[in-house]
Amino acid sequence: MAELIHQKCAKCGHEMNVPAHYAGTEQKCRSCGASFTVGLPDTKKCPYCAEEIKYAARVCRHCGRALDVVEVAEQPAPAKTSRTSVSPVAAIVVISLAAFAVWFVVTQMSSRSTSTPDGRFVMPQAIAAPAPVVTKAEYDQIREGMTYDQVVRIIGAPGDEQSRTDLAGFTTVMYAWMNSNGSNMNAMFQNGELVSKAQFGLP
């Protein structure tokens, strides 16, 4: 166990035991915060017979006991560790994008598609199928920063709300527009403004 040095704060009188390896260093009083320099005393008391002996002694000259065991040191206050805080905005964006990605991947895996000569994926069209709710041309007109109402006016139909989260003053909502053949578009709004969009197989 570590040897201790008994110290007394010159400012407030608080007594404390300081590990000997702090000798010669400047420390702060845990009671009042005043600075003091840890010094080695000339003598100490034998823990067995309480007689005064030299500080460096390893055997008590009075009782002959070996001084291997010393009193338990007063534990210094644990150092404060810094914690990296995560911005609420970053947390919202990460959660929202993760939910958006999962939904989009599931939608793609559950759908079958064909491709057009220009390389675009388009869902197969049934004979006499109803008109699509949303088209690629309408999707291309939609820009980040638009409100939900502006997007609805472009598409001509409201979206189906897929998810909604309220965190740290930010409301994030995801809407989807689905055609009868499985092609679709989804859009994510944060506090009423479009922050991301995606489509799959729009005609």
Q: Which domains does the chain have, with CATH numbers?
A: 1-75 (no CATH), 88-200 (3.30.1450.10)
- In the chain, which residue ranges form alpha helices assigned H by DSSP? 88-109, 136-141, 148-155
The residue type of 26 is E
Contact at 8 Å (CB) between 111 and 182?
yes
Residue 177: predicted pLDDT: 95
- Residue count (the chain): 203
Task: Report how far apart, in Å, the C-alpha atoms of 95 and of each of 82, 98, 100, 167 are.
Answer: 25, 5, 9, 11
What is the average pLDDT across 88-108? 75
Higher model confidence: residue 116 or residue 166? 166
Contact at 8 Å (CB) between 124 and 112?
yes
- Using a 10 angstrom Cβ sphere, with 0-12 exposed, 13-18 middle and 19 or more buried, the burial of residue 128 is exposed
Helix (H) or strand (E) holding 123: none
Q: Which of 5-9, 41-45, 77-81 has the lowest mean pLDDT?
A: 77-81
Residue 68: predicted pLDDT: 63
Helix (H) or strand (E) holding 42: none
Q: What is the pLDDT of residues 14-23, one digit of tens each?
A: 888 878 777 7
**Pick from 40, 46, 43: nearest CA to 70:** 46
In the predicted model, is pLDDT for residue 161 greater than 90? yes
pTM value is: 0.42
* Rama region for 101: left / alpha / beta (φ>0; ψ in -120 to 50; rest): alpha
Higher model confidence: residue 191 or residue 125? 191
Tell me the pLDDT band of 86, cut-offs 50, 70 and 90: low
The residue type of 183 is S
Report the share of the chain in percent with pLDDT over 90. 33
Residue 135: predicted pLDDT: 94
In the predicted model, is pLDDT for residue 69 greater than 50? no
Residue 136: predicted pLDDT: 94
Higher model confidence: residue 29 or residue 179? 179
Q: What is the pLDDT of residues 122-156, one digit of tens each?
A: 666 555 668 899 999 999 999 999 999 999 999 99
